């Protein structure tokens, strides 16, 4: 049994495994070298040879307990034939969302389009570097995917004014997202993913009264479906204010907390395994500060099942030496 499985399945508190969101990618010079030659991000994700190499890069450097596949949550809109491209300095830009078109997407066409992702999962699962480690697959939560598909770009500066105007359109789109998210999860699991993380990057955009319809209900369906495949889920509803309500309603196997959550409050409120929390910006400071902050989380959760992670993804300007220091420190704790 892997270290992370012991925490997720046995609620073991004697170990504190570590993996990091965005551990494969932009802060590693070897990734930047590949990226410079491959400007089309979607194509890079769908090149299983290169995406395998990228996924394994951090495992060659650091003693991490899991590999998370190098892919993107926007693979689902891409698989549904919505145009998806990434622009430097802007982020993802999506094409028009035509309900008629996505309603007509055939399951086998969707799988065929995303086949390189499933090949990647299989190659990672069967690599020597991941022996005794977990292979983590993932999906975007339905709400976050809906945001990107309707907004057509990151909602950093807010949602379109008419975002909620057509409830029927939203309802139908969410149903399609649910159907194909399940298919994406199933294919990742069949290819070797042992954990599925559900990223709800934009859960914080909603008022509390809207969370049941847009966040809780759609996510419950994915959590229950993944559980039916005998695979645990870790949910990351970034920026949500009431983690306790989320956990009691959605019932994931573990909850990933963001850096704005108070770890002491989380410890009081939540019984299931906890992951994450530390602010990625701490990795941009110095070793003393990093040690102090990491130790804070390890101490608070010392008697609780806990997986060390950050409260969001590694920042591009992070020095890999700081990452190495962090991983060794957690391992020696």
Q: What is the CATH number of the domain that holds 238?
A: 3.20.20.210
Provide the domain limits for residue 173: 3-332
Q: Tally the domains of the chain.
A: 1
Burial of 33 (0-12, 13-18, 19+ CB in 10 A): exposed
**pLDDT tens digits for the chain (333 residues)?**
999 999 999 999 999 999 999 999 999 999 999 999 999 999 999 999 999 999 999 999 999 999 999 999 999 999 999 999 999 888 999 999 999 999 999 999 999 999 999 999 999 999 999 999 999 999 999 999 999 999 999 999 789 989 999 999 999 999 999 999 999 999 999 999 999 999 999 999 999 999 999 999 999 999 999 999 999 999 999 999 999 999 999 999 999 999 999 999 999 999 999 999 999 999 999 999 999 999 999 999 999 999 999 999 999 999 999 999 999 999 999
CA distances from 107 to 103, 110, 112, 208, 216 (A): 11, 5, 9, 34, 25
Q: Structure tokens of 202?
A: 């934009």
Burial of 86 (0-12, 13-18, 19+ CB in 10 A): middle
For residue 160, count other CB atoms closer than 10 A to its CB.
13
Q: Which residues of 4-20 are buried (b: 16+ CB within 10 A; e: fewer)?
A: bbbbbeeebeebbbbbb
Rounded Cα distance between 97 and 77, Å, is: 9
């Amino acid at each position: 049994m892997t270290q992370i499985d012991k925490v997720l399945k046995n609620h073991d508190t004697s170990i504190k495994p570590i993996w990091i969101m965005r551990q494969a990618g932009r802060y590693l010079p070897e990734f930047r070298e590949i990226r410079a030659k491959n400007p089309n991000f979607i194509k890079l994700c769908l090149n299983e040879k290169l995406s395998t190499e990228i996924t394994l890069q951090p495992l060659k450097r650091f003693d991490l307990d899991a590999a998370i596949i190098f892919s993107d949550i926007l693979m689902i809109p891409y698989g549904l034939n919505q145009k998806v491209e990434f622009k430097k300095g802007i982020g993802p830009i999506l094409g028009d969302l035509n309900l008629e078109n996505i309603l007509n997407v055939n399951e086998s066409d969707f799988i065929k389009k995303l086949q390189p992702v499933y090949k990647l999962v299989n190659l990672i699962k069967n690599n020597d570097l991941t022996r005794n480690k977990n292979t983590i697959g993932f999906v975007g939560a339905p709400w976050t995917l809906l945001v990107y598909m309707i907004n057509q770009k990151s909602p950093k500066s807010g949602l379109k004014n008419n975002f909620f105007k057509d409830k029927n359109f939203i309802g139908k789109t969410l149903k399609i997202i649910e159907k194909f998210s399940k298919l994406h999860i199933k294919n990742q699991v069949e290819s070797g993913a042992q954990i599925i993380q559900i990223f709800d990057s934009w859960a914080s955009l909603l008022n509390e009264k809207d969370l049941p319809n847009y966040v809780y209900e759609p996510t419950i369906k994915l959590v229950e479906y993944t559980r039916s495949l005998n695979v645990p889920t870790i949910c990351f509803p970034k920026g949500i204010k009431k983690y306790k309500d989320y956990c009691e309603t959605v019932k994931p196997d573990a909850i990933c907390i963001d850096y704005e959550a108070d770890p002491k409050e989380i410890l009081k409120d939540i019984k299931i395994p906890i992951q994450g929390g530390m602010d990625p910006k701490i990795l941009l400071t110095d070793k003393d500060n990093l040690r102090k902050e990491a130790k804070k989380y390890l101490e608070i959760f010392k008697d609780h099942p806990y997986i060390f992670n950050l409260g969001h993804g590694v920042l591009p300007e992070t020095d890999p030496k700081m990452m190495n220091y962090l991983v060794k420190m957690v391992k020696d704790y």
